[in-house]
Amino acid sequence: MPLAKKTIRDIDLAGKRVLVRVDFNVPLKDGQVADDTRIRAALPTIGFLREAGCPVVLMSHLGRPKGKPDPAFSLAPVAWELARLLGTIVGHAPDCVGPAVEAMARDLRPGQVMLLENLRFHPEEEANDPSFAAALARLGEVYVDDAFGSAHRAHASTVGVASYLPAVAGFLMERELSALGRLLDNPDRPFVVILGGAKISDKIGLVRNLLTNAMRAGDTLAVGGGMANTFLAAQGYNLGASLVEAGQLVLARELLTEAARLGIKVILPSDLVVAKEIAAHAPSRVVAPDGVAPDERAVDIGPATREAIATSCRDAGTIFWNGPLGVFEVDDFAAGTTAVARAVAASPAYSVVGGGDSAAAVEKAGVAAQVSHVSTGGGASLEFLEGRELPGVACLLDR
């Protein structure tokens, strides 16, 4: 699907100072970056701009500092890590707006890079305050949005600045929109959608839009994790102490009926790993859905279910996976999620893995490089696939 928005290839950048929204919301440990995946994802855009002779001003949020400066959420460690990856000095501004920051930006020479301090040290960022957006815009002559993970937020740095500067997509934004758009725009078939996570209520819009606009007869919808419990309960199974959304049983039955009407195969767990407590080394056993004791809860999909999903992946033309298939954060209950990660990676299909735990699973399994596209945006990717307009994309210049 051709990208409908202009990118940094489509605009005259020569010598212009460029303000770039990146997603450097990375984990820190002991004052250092613990995972540089998101930083590395922005390097192609930064490199392109430097080669074009642009002074580059980067801006990002980090964590939830509640609208005021907090040293624990400073982007200083990120500036150090970026400098290491680029092999050059990266200036770190003491703030993200104000005369001192504007002076730093003006003094940048072609190819030099600076990183602003945490945008969320100011409440005006999340409020999309026009004056704050204008202050950010004074730091550049062109605005580039390369923060797909924040594109579903209408904040000053993602939407507001586009009112003051020509706004285009960076390479990461382009890659995300192209990969996710391919899922909705007549994907190669069979199309296999694998959904996990705790709640069906979090993914109602996603399931409805995929069933209505992307999936066809012969495609497969596989469901695991906590949300599978609600589907199983809707079929009459007693899941013991498992998480079940009692208020979503009617919806679950409706979705199963709609999938059957469309000729879409649904894979629900035929076996479950159950335990009496969610803890490392807790005793567990594999049972059929009708074998869960009152004091047990489902913590993973069983071996037969893993194989059923893996089989669907082998024959797929396109795969989309979002959400863990069990209590992934406890190693004893991560086998199902890990098996699916390996099955997705081993498939010859075009494969897209949603952000968050799914992305962490393919990284942990060591197979991320074998997946066609691992999204950097959890909430943004889901909203896009729900068919919703993302504010941080809508504000960019049309082709």
- Backbone φ, ψ for residue 19 (5° rounding): -95, 120
If asked whether residues 67 and 27 sit together in one domain, one would say: yes
Nearest one of 198, 176, 171 to 1, comparing CA atoms: 176
Residue among 16, 17, 38, 50 flagged as catalytic: 38
If asked whether residues 43 and 13 sit together in one domain, one would say: yes
Residue among 224, 226, 336, 356 flagged as catalytic: 356
3-state SS assignment for residue 300: strand
Decide if 38 is catalytic. yes
If asked whether residues 89 and 219 sit together in one domain, one would say: no
- Final residue before a domain boundary, out of 172, 207, 235: 172
Give the CATH number for residue 239.
Answer: 3.40.50.1260
Number of structural domains in the chain: 2
Tokens 């950097």 belong to 376
- Other beta carbons within 10 angstroms of residue 249's beta carbon come to 17
Residue among 6, 199, 208, 364 flagged as catalytic: 199
Q: Give the contacts of 325 (CB within 8 A, at least 6 positions apart).
A: 194, 196, 224, 225, 300, 301, 336, 337, 340
Decide if 379 is catalytic. yes
- Other beta carbons within 10 angstroms of residue 253's beta carbon come to 13
Q: Give the contacts of 71 (CB within 8 A, at least 6 positions apart).
A: none
Strands 28-29 and 32-33, sheet pairing: antiparallel
Reduced 3-state DSSP string for 89-103: CEEECCCCCCHHHHH
Domain membership of residue 316 as a residue range:
179-385
- Final residue before a domain boundary, out of 172, 190, 217: 172
CA distances from 234 to 224, 245, 255, 256, 341 (A): 14, 10, 11, 9, 27
Residue among 63, 181, 379, 387 flagged as catalytic: 379
pLDDT for the residue 377:
80
**Residue 89 domain-assigned (yes or no):** yes
pLDDT for the residue 1:
45
Cβ pair 203, 191 in contact under 8 A: no
pLDDT for the residue 2:
54
- Final residue before a domain boundary, out of 153, 172, 191: 172
If asked whether residues 168 and 241 sit together in one domain, one would say: no
Cβ pair 210, 222 in contact under 8 A: no
If asked whether residues 344 and 199 sit together in one domain, one would say: yes
- CA pseudo-torsion sign 11, 13, 18, 24: positive
Residue 162's identity, in one-letter code, is A
Segments of the chain scoring below 50 in pLDDT = 1
If asked whether residues 155 and 205 sit together in one domain, one would say: no
Strands 113-115 and 56-59, sheet pairing: parallel
